[in-house]
Structure 1
């Protein structure tokens, strides 16, 4: 975060404000961790701060300090809209375009508060007065750590509640510190968070070792459906709405399943296609290893984007048509997929 932006934010926060903090739709560990971490920090500074999420988040994140205070827009629209309308400062975290909040977009576009963006995805839009964007960061949670450090000139204001929230987001967005975005700086940040009270072993347990039977059944179904295309060093998984319903799908049950494709030898491109009949789309997650940019692939063909090695997208045709389109595209990327 540059000095000019730090100065601007510090000046804004020097007086009391009504502040709302917004994550993206279908918030993950980084989105919830960063928004809650920032909420605790702002409250400790005497600000009125509330997190408003577009929709609900996975059960494995519902232990996090302050999570019970999160307002879910789709459940409490009138209350949420009142907070947003009255807010003088609006933080948007872990996304860089207002379309990423889904049905909240219109409300945010009409808001008169000062917007501050903290995000690490590519190609940020220009709606915010202050944009702290860095695509090289491991996570938005690491950026919130840097944000606090820049405002305070040290990290002494990071409490155990903040530390637990930020650790969770860094851990989940780095694949437990194995992705290339994990730098030596990331490890130094994590070490400081542990020193400040982040219960790292307990966090790993709560996030990864509290599976429901439905999640494991869905995982089994997904792995059974996996298709391996050796010529393209690619593996993809499909999950139909019928399969999700049969296995009593709950939000968060498909989180991380796409990564199993990359555990196969000689696979550098992994994809999962998940049918969502309520929204009339096929939700797609892309992962890669090495130099193959799934961000560019998703932007070019599936109305998506994200990071070079992790991105999302969608399709408005059937599951069968979507996978057929995907497979047909691979031949033009064969040279890039050699590894």
Structure 2
């Protein structure tokens, strides 16, 4: 599959790279890192990255303005997006050829070519793997590309603390460090906390709840979000705030928006992506997201989480 993807890259003169809505470091890192790999190797090609921007991650990269005409005859690649409703910018369908590169369970096998590796810590790790394969063909990675891919790996492994970190993850991270990645700058930007978010974190730590079965939860209402002056995306950054509490097996963050309630599920063992799949979502066995529309639905998610913690 990697050979087919490389052949498609070499064949097309215009390449447009998408990723999921509400991007995290891996979405932006894999998207931007792949763009850098292609552009550095083929300076004459026209390579674009598209999607809405996340203000807290603008230090990683900025998106391009792409016209509808650019999609005519273009290769479109979607990174780090398990299902089509979560792809940022609906024009991903408008190219000549569509490629999916992802590390989530392949529940929505869209695209003409699919490279899905659930054993990879991140799609950024997969792009490094693509680079390692392609450098025998003369592919080159820039320092900026290495920085973006390292950021993506760090983001999805929780600074190499999560169980998705493997020997290959460390090997490829080492390859990227050879480019001179400024890790101090990266960590300062990636993990800095604005004052209003720190204060919301205090609220979360004071108000989260747990059950005897090891389930934990916090409900962040629209009123709470407004009172702390944060956005829903900023609230989501705190999903692991109480993850180290003794006896906790799995937990859920509910974040109320104007027209929906975001659901962020995390686990130390119980499978949670099957829960998310029942509520307009999906993800990894121990990290998943979903969407509900009432607090009654949210309570059903919590009941399912309780059941998962019992098994």
- Establish whether TM, by shorter chain, passes 0.5: yes
Distance 1:333 1:96 in 2: 23
| CA deviations over 1:83-114 (Å, ceiling 9, x no partner) | 3x335100100013211126x33x333x1421
Contact 2:29/2:124, CA 8 A, preserved across alignment: yes
Tell me the alpha carbon deviations over residues 279-323 of structure 1, each in whole angstroms, 9 at most, x when there is no partner: x11000000012x111112113x2211001100001011x3x244
Q: Which residue pairs with 1:185 in the alignment?
A: 168
Aligned to 1:259: 240
Looking at structure 1, the residues matched to 12 and 96 of structure 2 have their Cα atoms a distance apart, in angstroms, of 14
Distance 2:33 2:3 in 1: 21
CA distance in 1, matches of 2:6, 2:306: 51
Match of 1:285 among 264, 267, 271: 264
Q: Give the aligned partner of residue 213 of structure 1.
A: 195
Q: 2:138 & 2:161 partners in 1: Cα distance?
A: 25
Would you say the 8 A contact 1:57–1:251 is kept in 2?
A: no
Aligned counterpart, 1:228: 210
Could you tell me which residue of structure 2 aligns to residue 172 of structure 1?
A: 155
The question of whether the paired residues in 2 share the 8 Å contact of 1:214 and 1:253 is answered with: no
Taking the aligned partners of 2:138 and 2:235, their CA distance within structure 1 comes to 35
Contact in 2 for aligned 1:149/1:155 (Cα 8 Å): no
Note if contact 2:18-2:78 (Cα within 8 Å) is conserved in structure 1. Answer: yes
TM-score (norm 1): 0.85
Structure 2 portions without partners, runs of 5+: none
Q: Does 1:108 align with 2:92?
A: yes
What's the counterpart of residue 48 of structure 1? 46
Equivalence for 2:29: 33
Match of 2:185? 202
- Residue aligned with 1:258, SS: coil
300, 308, 311: which one pairs with 1:325?
300
Asked whether the equivalents of residues 74 and 96 of structure 2 are also in contact (C-alpha less than 8 Å), the reply is yes
Aligned-partner Cα distance in 2 for 1:34–1:202: 19
Q: CA contact under 8 A between 2:250 and 2:309: conserved in structure 1?
A: no
1:275 deviates by 0.2
Determine helix, strand or coil for the equivalent of 1:49. strand
- Counterpart Cα distance in 1 of 2:308 and 2:236: 27
Match of 1:294 among 272, 281, 284: 272
Does the 8 Å CA contact 2:252/2:302 hold for their aligned counterparts?
no
Normalising by structure 2, we get a TM-score of 0.92
Listed as ranges, the gaps of 5+ residues in structure 1 are none
Query: Size of the alignment, in residue pairs?
Result: 309
